[in-house]
Structure 1
Amino acid sequence: MKKVALKFLALLFIFFPLYSKTSAEKLFDNLSEIEKISQIFLVNVEGNEIFHPVEFLEDGTAVVPGGILLFSYNIGNSEEQLKNFISSINSFYKKNKSPLPFISVDQEGGEVNRLKKIASHLPSEKTISENYTLREAKSIYSNQAMQMKKLGITMNLAPVAESEIESNKLFLGTRTFGGVPKSVAYSMVCVTAYEENGIASVAKHFPGNANSDPHTGSVEITLSSSEVFKNFIFPFALILKSNPSCVLVSHAKINSLDENPACMSSFWIKEILQSRLGFVGLVLSDDIFMGALSDLPPEQVAANAIISGVDVIMLSGKKFLSVAQSLLKLAENDEVFANRLYEAEKKVLDFKLKKGIIKIEEK
């Protein structure tokens, strides 16, 4: 009787499996370890005409990042040049049998305007909130999104969703829409316009910044906990209802709540952003080569960020292999870290599948 029962259970598992792998998991299984971990890096590249990798394994295999960040010098002087450059990137990845990358740009508008030579004029966020209705703003951002899509760009590191207050207005300048009401309303319109037109939006910089510049030194927000939640967390909670694909986390320290820079803080990422605010999309770090984190080696910053909940590590430099290898070595001896790394890698693949950047048949 016992043998019959076991045979019956075996048949059930064959015809009614308890677990079916997702598309991302199937794709994940066919990748090498270095291909898997490469997915979590957003890295700048050389040139503006033909893509060439800059890092290789000992056997000569090219190592390429899961995401590519285009700076102004990568854009070129015409739509056609940028389209051809992005096409060369995708062609190399296909030839290399690597999952296609997401192609990102920092197109906020105003002073931060990477596409100003080849796309229609995009005013700063402050200019838009002061001179255009919400309907007009959506039209402007929708137009930008359609132009980006045509060029081959799939992600925009915008909007700056931080509300302007006295302690950050000097640093943000015209990059913010303004105080809480305008910041919430216009950020939501901006996110919606990009997402509806096939561009992944990135709400930044969670939870906020101060007047000091993170590019050059440490950033400390000295507000009380109640002021932080009123001016930073509450607006982000509303903006996230417009469903941005990603949130970019700042390097700021808010000592009234946690002593760590936000990008290395499980309090800010896991407890606040994900648990309390319910965000389930990709969590990006700001550039880990910024001056705000210069007291730590990039390998340690990346490890701390991943274990704290970051999914994608941004590096303004063009090389990430040494950091990736250090994370793989850490994962060999730390099961908790290995599981978090796997989760981040799979989230990036899920994102790419959802956005149509890759298809399961590619690998």
Structure 2
Amino acid sequence: MNCYSNLKKTKKTAEKIWKIFPLFLTSFFILSCASKAEKQRLYEIAVQDSKKTAIEQFVSQLPENVKISQLFLVNIEGNKNYFPVEKTGSLYGKKNEGEPLLPGGCLFFSYNIADSKEQVRSFIKSINSFYSKNNNVLPFIAVDQEGGSVNRLRKITGNFPSEKYISQNFDEAKARELYEKQASQMAELGFNLNLAPVVEVETLENSGFLDTRSFGSLEKVLFYAPLEINAFENQKIATVLKHFPGNSNTDPHTGLPEIKISSERLKNELLEPFKKLLPLSSSVLMSHARITVEDDPSYCDSSIPACISKFWVTKVLREDFGFEGLILSDDIFMGALADNGFLSEDAAIRAIEAGVNIIMLSEKRFGSVAKILLKKASESQEFNQKIQKSVQKIIEYKIKGGVLELRQIDFDSDGKKLKVPAFKVVAADF
């Protein structure tokens, strides 16, 4: 009797076990997969850390003159064979001594563009060759190619329509085709950074200055700008959204733009296009405008131009918008700054303090400004750290843009396979 009773209990227990066994197997399978997924996630994190370490080590080993030069995007001489106009001695009060002082980026104007594609390619190749022979970090090769009135490549590509014309006359397919063709042409020439597009919404307060350089309304900006941005970024040409947070009708080449605006219009007209488009782009360019929020005067310091304002660069772009790309100043030699008490050397320091990564100069010499930054870095550990972080970000985006490469190393010096690959920063082919 007892045996029979125990047998019944055993049978019932077995039936219960068999009923839940599929659930057990399913749970085990899920846990097993989760474990594999977690391992893969941790591996990918380790790889990213390894890449970050490689960039940090690369930057730490750069000579002082090469490191500080990464912060500058400057105009260059000629259109045939590259030659530098400064020496490293200019960083230390001995301008005629030392090795060539080479900027981190070379900015082309119309007079730097020769008459044929072959000549332009040859000139750009001469730049990269000179940098390579001098063991320098290859530069950004940059140009303002917005279209319309700002068309540096007119001799090569002919007339290229303005943003306004495109938004008024082109449908999506035609605009995409046009931008893809332009991006392909520029990549073939050797450019890797385009100071475009303008993504400011056209208003009564800025239309006199921007004219045809804006797509127009917010809706048109958000429709057409992504077509342009994606076309260039897909060709590994970094785009630069302009001009954050906005402009007035005052030309910053001659005066300081002053923007007086309500908080509602600030949010919906000035900031909205940048907030929506920044995730698509490698970089953004700061304007020289001073902003006054009429119904909230304490919102920002209206006496400070945006390009040297920690509020606009760090608080809004980095913290509020979460932007992780490169931040460029507009030309610090523009009259907008100098004529209002912000001399180029002081403006450069304040731009770096604000969080700007790259300082743009229309001048061909940057040694005197770089000298001031080096002096400041020697006096302030905080300022020196800002320079280090900016150079690391610049190198990171030169890698993303194909200017440099992260070469993967899978084996150690003894021939053993590494659990996590190591990386080394090297120059890309040109």
Q: Which band: TM-score by shorter chain?
A: over 0.9
Residue 346 in structure 1 maps to residue 392 in structure 2: yes
Contact 1:184/1:236, CA 8 A, preserved across alignment: no
Q: Matched residues in 2 for 1:357 and 1:311: separation? A: 17
The Cα shift of 1:355 comes to 1.4
| Alignment partner, residue 7 of structure 1 | none
Q: Secondary structure at the match of 2:106?
A: strand
Q: Secondary structure at the match of 1:283?
A: strand
Cα distance per residue 1:229-277 (max 9 Å; x no partner): 1101112111223x11110010000022332100011111111111111
Query: Which one-letter code corresponds to 1:361 in the other structure?
Result: V
Which of these residues, 129, 139, 148, is aligned with residue 101 of structure 1? 139
Residue 48 in structure 1 maps to residue 113 in structure 2: no
Q: Matched residues in 2 for 1:33 and 1:282: separation? A: 21
Residue 361 in structure 1 maps to residue 361 in structure 2: no
Q: Matched residues in 2 for 1:311 and 1:275: separation? A: 16
Q: Secondary structure at the match of 2:164?
A: helix
Contact 1:120/1:144, CA 8 A, preserved across alignment: no
Q: Matched residues in 2 for 1:258 and 1:179: separation? A: 28
Q: Matched residues in 2 for 1:185 and 1:22: separation? A: 39
Contact 1:122/1:140, CA 8 A, preserved across alignment: no
Cα distance per residue 1:288-312 (max 9 Å; x no partner): 0111101222111001001101100
Cα distance per residue 1:153-209 (max 9 Å; x no partner): 001100000000111111100000001110121112111111112211111001000
List alignment gaps of at least 5 residues for structure 1.
1-15
Query: Which one-letter code corresponds to 1:254 in the other structure?
Result: I
| Alignment partner, residue 119 of structure 2 | 81
Query: Which one-letter code corresponds to 2:70 in the other structure?
Result: Q
Choose 262-271 or 21-30, whichever is displaced more. Answer: 21-30
| Alignment partner, residue 254 of structure 1 | 291
Which of these residues, 316, 319, 337, is aligned with residue 293 of structure 1? 337
Cα distance per residue 1:66-107 (max 9 Å; x no partner): 001000000011111111100100000000000100100000
The Cα shift of 1:112 comes to 0.4
Compare CA radii of gyration and give the structure with the larger one.
Answer: 2
The two structures, once aligned, show a CA RMSD in angstroms of 1.5
Q: Matched residues in 1 for 2:315 and 2:147: separation? A: 32
Contact 1:237/1:277, CA 8 A, preserved across alignment: yes
| Alignment partner, residue 12 of structure 1 | none
Q: Which runs of 4+ in 1 moved over 3 A?
A: none
Choose 257-266 or 143-152, whichever is displaced more. Answer: 257-266
Choose 73-82 or 223-232, whichever is displaced more. Answer: 223-232
Residue 112 in structure 1 maps to residue 150 in structure 2: yes
List alignment gaps of at least 5 residues for structure 2.
1-45, 90-96, 294-299, 406-424
Contact 1:75/1:115, CA 8 A, preserved across alignment: yes
Q: Matched residues in 2 for 1:33 and 1:128: separation? A: 45
Q: Matched residues in 1 for 2:198 and 2:122: separation? A: 29
The Cα shift of 1:328 comes to 0.8
Query: Which one-letter code corresponds to 2:322 in the other structure?
Result: G
Residue 39 in structure 1 maps to residue 70 in structure 2: yes
Q: Matched residues in 2 for 1:238 and 1:120: separation? A: 32
Which of these residues, 269, 275, 283, is aligned with residue 313 of structure 2? 269
Cα distance per residue 1:39-86 (max 9 Å; x no partner): 010000000000000000234211100001000000011111111100
| Alignment partner, residue 317 of structure 1 | 363
Q: Matched residues in 2 for 1:109 and 1:141: separation? A: 10
Q: Residues 212 and 361 of structure 1: is their aligned pair in 2 closer, same or farther, counting only changes over 3 Å?
A: closer
Q: Matched residues in 2 for 1:310 and 1:102: separation? A: 17
Residue 166 in structure 1 maps to residue 204 in structure 2: yes
Q: Which has the higher strand share?
A: 2
Q: Secondary structure at the match of 1:203?
A: strand
Aligned length: 345
Q: Secondary structure at the match of 2:284?
A: strand
Contact 2:148/2:162, CA 8 A, preserved across alignment: yes
Which of these residues, 166, 169, 183, is aligned with residue 145 of structure 1? 183
Q: Secondary structure at the match of 2:202?
A: coil
Q: Matched residues in 2 for 1:134 and 1:319: separation? A: 42
Q: Matched residues in 2 for 1:108 and 1:97: separation? A: 33
The Cα shift of 1:120 comes to 4.8
Contact 1:36/1:345, CA 8 A, preserved across alignment: yes
TM-score between the two structures when normalised by the length of structure 1: 0.92
| Alignment partner, residue 6 of structure 1 | none
Contact 1:145/1:198, CA 8 A, preserved across alignment: no
| Alignment partner, residue 3 of structure 1 | none
What is the percentage of aligned positions where both structures have the same residue? 48
Q: Matched residues in 1 for 2:266 and 2:182: separation? A: 32
TM-score between the two structures when normalised by the length of structure 2: 0.78
Query: Which one-letter code corresponds to 1:279 in the other structure?
Result: F
Q: Matched residues in 2 for 1:239 and 1:298: separation? A: 30
The Cα shift of 1:219 comes to 0.8
Contact 1:24/1:353, CA 8 A, preserved across alignment: no
| Alignment partner, residue 244 of structure 1 | 281
Contact 1:43/1:68, CA 8 A, preserved across alignment: yes
Q: Matched residues in 2 for 1:33 and 1:297: separation? A: 24
Q: Matched residues in 1 for 2:108 and 2:127: separation? A: 12
Q: Matched residues in 1 for 2:172 and 2:197: separation? A: 14
Query: Which one-letter code corresponds to 2:301 in the other structure?
Result: D
Q: Matched residues in 2 for 1:88 and 1:189: separation? A: 32
